[in-house]
Amino acid sequence: MSAAQGPLSVYIHVPFCAVRCGYCDFNTYTATELGGGGSQAEYPANAMREMDLTLADDRAAGYEYDAVSTVFFGGGTPTLLPADDLVAMLEHLRSLIPLADGAEVTTEANPDSVTRASLSRLADGGITRVSFGMQSAVPSVLATLDRTHDPEKVPQAVAWAREAGLEVSLDLIYGTPGETLGDVETSVRAALACGVDHLSAYSLIIEGNTAMARQLRRGELEAPDADDMADKYELIDDLARADGLSWYEVSNFARTPARRSRHNLAYWQGGDWWGIGPGAHRHRDGLRAWNLKHPSRYAATLAADTLPVADSEQLSAEDRLVERIMLELRIADGLAVEAIPAPRRHQLAVHRDRGHLEAAALEDGRAVLTREGRLLADAVIRDLVP
Amino acid sequence: MPVTPRIAADEARDILPASTPQERLRNFCIIAHIDHGKSTLADRMLQITGIVDERAMRAQYLDRMDIERERGITVKSQAVRMPWQVDGTNFALNMIDTPGHVDFTYEVSRSLAACEGAILLVDAAQGIEAQTLANLYLAMENDLTIIPVLNKIDLPGAEPERYAAEIGQLVGVEPDEVLRVSGKTGLGVPELLDHVVRTLPPPHGEPEAPCRAMIFDSVYDTYRGVVTYIRVVDGHLRSRDRIDMMSTGAHHELLEIGVSSPEPHPTKGIGPGEVGYLITGVKDVRQSKVGDTVTTSVRGATEALDGYSDPKPMVYSGLFPIDGSDYPVLRDALDKLKLNDAALNYEPETSTALGFGFRVGFLGLLHLEIIRERLEREFDLDLISTAPSVVYQVLMEDGTEVEVMNPSDFPTGKIQEISEPVTKATILVPSEFIGAVMELCQSKRGNLGGMDYLSEDRVELRYTLPLAEIVFDFFDQLKSRTRGYASLDYDISGSQVADLVKVDMLLQGEPVDAFSAIVHRDKAYSYGVEMAGKLKKLIPRQQFEVPIQAAIGARIIARENIRAMRKDVLSKCYGGDISRKRKLLEKQKEGKKRMKNIGSVEVPQEAFIAALSADESAMPKDKDAKKK
């Protein structure tokens, strides 16, 4: 089989961090020397091996992709690896499947894990976009989040990246215990002052197995409050809009459609993607698979020439429909009304009347969330899925 | 304890059932409070008289049901025949085990009517309790000879001198005439049995008269059908007789007649003054009613014994399965319990908040609790019960009269007056708590009828109290205001006209039936405020603002608002989050299906359950408390 299946996205998970943050429940490790071939030094070779096996697996299943349209190095902290390692992985990928013209290649980075030189090396090696984990501009908030960077470093890192020709996005976290509305305003203004064209803002979610959840249980931190979160989201939206950025997904804002993260849009629009690295998820035409989480087990499985898959699921037609409604309703383009099962469509008018859906878009056959609706997206989705 | 029965089995020929002369019979019961050791004393008697050997001895032999054993209370009485020799003469003693609680006053009164005497058993460390006092008065009214006894005299906390003086004064004997025993060790028990023989009068029925036997208990047994316990007053009942139930005129064949000692022993018959059981093959205790008179079909009696009355439910509550699909299980379970409980009655009820269930009538709160617990334990049901309600008589302006057992049935037209049942309540309390108890009774619309000092520091307070106030939370409050020292007994004494109103709780204008209540007008506001506050805490925020209102008819008396939910969105949804998010969504959808819809408000059933459980500590903290 050699039929082309359209564009492919590739996610490469780098599971290492200098410090684990108290709110983080991602698959990441701080030790540089993990046993069984799972160390940072051996990581790039493992990732490349996994790319080879994934390609073979696709081919065996009759899938062949023309080109890679987006690549995303996430973590962890990808920039904890030498820039050459990231470039080498990208090179290896290109040797398997060519990069499309104008492909978007993003890496996540900590403001303090980059230098002018490393950013320039990344740009030269084919990376086009960098997403900095800024989180906040307020030192006390950063301290609660266990973030080690000095907020002063962010504008500098952004400037170096732009100088190297990279697009820049900043990530913010709002709703950290103790954060005031004023703190949020300070952070958003500081981010916008860097002149970025893309902003992501996530409300802090305290997962049960994190250090922060333990602090919360001990009463050392106050639990985030939903109304306060809503106030902060609205403030962020106001400030972004005033600066010329508009929402294109519940938590993402861009200056122009061209500046939207195409990699993330691929997730939300049902694209196929590879998930390379420990714990990474992959999607191929309704097949979702996810890797073993621990770098050592991941490495050992690859050493036996086997894909390091922990488990997988084949989505039913209904699953795919649920996912489509769930994901597309979150983006500014919205969801085509015909996609919603007929017995649920009467809910559209209910949510329009409650101010959750744009009345004008609905007349044009699309369900698009209002700002109030964005904050209640899950409730709206529950009413629309089969 | 070494036991040497005074009579060997083959020496008891002169006290065989059906041929024991009345002067060799003694029938007695034991009046005691829960935990005062009645069952232990009964066990010891079985052992000392030799009818149960040590190996077969099960603690608290007479209480058959698990719940009774665990709660230390006896719901169903039974009779045991024991041989005992005094001064070389053989006697047959019948011990009739009485229910120990206020809800079963009628059954107690029938048990007492089957006896000539009663042992008043009081814990030597605790003194007499209100229910025991009530039963003592009942026994005295039945002209029973009372034998006062202090139990648990071996306990370190025992104060026999003090309590002997107290009960001596109640019964009218000198303190040194009060017997002292330990049911646990058996100390003083043989002397007590001797005393029973010497002081209780023998029965004195008419041996040649037509047979009249009183039913004092009837128990459903899966294998044998209904086992009916009787006391023969006049004449004889023989194994080949056909019998009639005098209240209904129903005829039955006798399949078996006998005595318990304590296992059933079939006999040729039962003679005058004797106690035993009979089996006719009926399957429902309603065909063999406590208090009814049994006679022979041939040459039967024409006049029934006094004292029969039909058990009448005083308290009603809705019982609903938490899992709606358990409804048929609940129905079958109630049908089964009914076989053994003539006082239990029920009919289907539908609630918008709680789904399908039954409106069940009970004798009182304990009866309610026991039935609920048996349903949950023996039939593995999870149940929610609505607040107990009494029976109101509503007289309409057009002269029609409506009986209201459920606030949902409260009439909407013009009402002339409403009557509610009232009780005569007796409260025994250490004198330091008199003020607290009076204050409570006052707030529950009580009228003080009288007050007596039982001893220097214990007081008997007599109140007239509306039954509705007692079933609400009176007992819990009484206990908490007296650090558990007060005891309560009450008996329905009639009805009174009162200024009562129905308060409805509305959610976005829609009434929530499970929370409607009939309350005194003066309490309506506080009920409304409390309930609205509770619901506000328990009902999750919706996509829109939800007003909670308390209303009397169309008039709103209290209001709370559940503010609209503003944020319900997972902020991050990237590649690895998608499966998890979809699964979460499916779970939430499932949860949505279990929600009850009141208008367009979705309420988790747990919220109704929590609001209905009186326990405030089970309530979550105020959702808005941390907002300034």
Task: Based on the fold, state whether residues A204 and A345 are members of the same structural domain.
Answer: no
Render pLDDT for B420-441 as a digit per residue (tens, 0 to 9).
999 999 999 999 999 999 999 9
Q: Tell me the CA distances in angstroms from A366 to A93, A123, A268, A361, B4, one per residue in order.
A: 37, 39, 16, 5, 94
C-alpha to C-alpha distance for B468 and B372, rounded to whole angstroms: 20
Task: Based on the fold, state whether residues A196 and A133 are members of the same structural domain.
Answer: yes
- Are B571 and A205 in contact (CB < 8 Å)? yes
Considering only the beta carbons, identify the residue of A229, A264, A290 that sits closest to B567.
Answer: A229
B571 at the A interface (CB within 8 A)?
Answer: yes
Query: Residue B579: its chain A contacts at CB < 8 A?
Result: 281, 288, 290, 313
What letters, b where the CB count within 10 A reaches 16 and e where it falls short, cover B561-596? ebeebbbbbbbebbbbebbebbeebeebeeeeeeeb
- Are A376 and B626 in contact (CB < 8 Å)? no
Contacting B with CB below 8 Å, chain A residues are 11, 201-203, 205, 222-223, 225-227, 229-230, 233, 250-251, 264, 267-268, 273, 275, 279-281, 283, 288, 290, 313, 319, 322-323, 326-327, 330, 354, 356, 372, 374-379, 381-382, 385
In a domain, A176, yes or no: yes
The residue that leads in pLDDT, B53 or B176, is: B176
In a domain, A12, yes or no: yes
C-alpha to C-alpha distance for B331 and A314, rounded to whole angstroms: 44
Render pLDDT for B199-245 as a digit per residue (tens, 0 to 9).
999 999 999 999 999 999 888 887 888 889 999 999 999 999 999 99
- The ipTM estimated for the assembled molecules is 0.90
- Are B568 and A202 in contact (CB < 8 Å)? no
Report pLDDT for B76. Answer: 43
Task: Based on the fold, state whether residues A249 and A149 are members of the same structural domain.
Answer: yes
- Are A378 and B574 in contact (CB < 8 Å)? no
- The answer to whether B509 touches B541, Cβ cutoff 8 Å, is no
Residue type for position B554: A
How confident is residue B616, by pLDDT bands cut at 50, 70 and 90? Answer: very low
Prediction pTM value: 0.70
- Tally of domains within chain A: 2
Report pLDDT for B59. Answer: 54
Q: What H or E segment, with its residue span, contains residue B26? A: strand B25-32
In a domain, A27, yes or no: yes
**Whole domain around residue A370: which residue ranges?**
318-384
In a domain, A330, yes or no: yes
Report pLDDT for B618. Answer: 39
- Are A385 and B543 in contact (CB < 8 Å)? no
Task: Based on the fold, state whether residues A261 and A124 are members of the same structural domain.
Answer: yes
- Sequence-distant (6+) residues with CB within 8 A of B300 are B210, B211, B244
Q: Which of A226, A245, A268 is the last residue of a domain?
A: A268
Report pLDDT for B203. Answer: 96
User: Does residue B537 carry a pLDDT above 80?
Assistant: yes
Task: Based on the fold, state whether residues A256 and A346 are members of the same structural domain.
Answer: no
Report pLDDT for B610. Answer: 83
The pair of structure tokens assigned to B141 is: 């009214």
B620 at the A interface (CB within 8 A)?
Answer: no
Task: Based on the fold, state whether residues A217 and A339 are members of the same structural domain.
Answer: no
Task: Based on the fold, state whether residues A217 and A359 are members of the same structural domain.
Answer: no
**Region B546-568 average pLDDT:** 95
User: Pairing relation of β-strands A8-14 and A272-276?
Assistant: parallel
The residue in chain A having the minimum alpha-carbon distance to the alpha carbon of residue B624 is A225
**Collapsing DSSP states into helix, strand and coil, what is residue B396?**
strand
Report pLDDT for B56. Answer: 60
> What beta strand segments (E) does chain A contain?
8-14, 68-75, 99-109, 129-135, 167-174, 198-203, 246-249, 252-254, 272-276, 281-284, 287-291, 309-314, 335-336, 366-367
3-state DSSP helix/strand/coil % of chain A, to nearest 5: 40, 20, 35
In a domain, A341, yes or no: yes
User: Does residue B624 carry a pLDDT above 80?
Assistant: no
C-alpha to C-alpha distance for B441 and A283, rounded to whole angstroms: 71
The residue in chain B having the minimum alpha-carbon distance to the alpha carbon of residue A312 is B579
- Are A376 and B575 in contact (CB < 8 Å)? no
- Are B568 and A326 in contact (CB < 8 Å)? no
- Preceding omega of A76 cis (within 30 degrees of 0): yes
- The answer to whether A248 touches A259, Cβ cutoff 8 Å, is no
How confident is residue B269, by pLDDT bands cut at 50, 70 and 90? Answer: very high
- Preceding omega of A78 cis (within 30 degrees of 0): no
Render pLDDT for B20-33 as a digit per residue (tens, 0 to 9).
999 999 999 999 88
Report pLDDT for A290. Answer: 96
Q: Burial level of B616, CB count in 10 A (0-12/13-18/19+)?
A: exposed
Taking every pair of C-alpha atoms in chain A, what is the biggest distance, in angstroms?
59
Give B600→chain A minimum CA distance, Å.
11
Q: Which of A234, A268, A302 is the last residue of a domain?
A: A268
Percent of chain B with pLDDT over 70: 91
Task: Based on the fold, state whether residues A246 and A350 are members of the same structural domain.
Answer: no
Roughly how many angstroms between the first and final C-alpha of chain A, as a whole number? 35
C-alpha to C-alpha distance for B41 and B186, rounded to whole angstroms: 8
Considering only the beta carbons, identify the residue of B569, B576, B627 that sits closest to A281.
Answer: B576
Task: Based on the fold, state whether residues A325 and A227 are members of the same structural domain.
Answer: no
Q: Each residue's pLDDT tens digit in chain A (386 positions)?
A: 444 567 899 999 999 888 888 888 878 888 776 777 788 899 999 999 999 999 999 999 999 999 999 999 998 899 999 999 999 999 999 999 999 999 999 999 999 889 999 999 999 999 999 999 999 999 999 999 988 888 889 999 999 999 999 999 999 999 999 999 999 999 999 999 999 999 999 999 888 888 888 888 888 888 888 999 999 999 999 999 999 999 999 999 999 999 999 999 999 999 999 999 999 999 999 999 999 999 999 999 999 999 999 999 999 999 999 999 999 999 999 999 999 999 999 999 999 999 999 999 999 999 999 999 999 999 999 999 99
Considering only the beta carbons, identify the residue of B571, B589, B627 that sits closest to A382.
Answer: B589
Nearest to B377 by CA among B68, B101, B606: B68
The residue that leads in pLDDT, A290 or B34, is: A290
Task: Based on the fold, state whether residues A254 and A368 are members of the same structural domain.
Answer: no
In a domain, A277, yes or no: no
User: Does residue B105 carry a pLDDT above 80?
Assistant: no
Render pLDDT for A249-286 as a digit per residue (tens, 0 to 9).
999 999 999 999 999 999 999 999 999 999 999 999 99
Nearest to A113 by CA among A88, A132, A141, A86: A132
In a domain, A6, yes or no: yes
Q: Which of A237, A268, A299 is the last residue of a domain?
A: A268
Task: Based on the fold, state whether residues A258 and A338 are members of the same structural domain.
Answer: no
Report pLDDT for B447. Answer: 96
C-alpha to C-alpha distance for A374 and A358, rounded to whole angstroms: 11
Task: Based on the fold, state whether residues A130 and A254 are members of the same structural domain.
Answer: yes
In a domain, A311, yes or no: no
- Residue A162: which CATH number? 3.80.30.20
How confident is residue B98, by pLDDT bands cut at 50, 70 and 90? Answer: confident
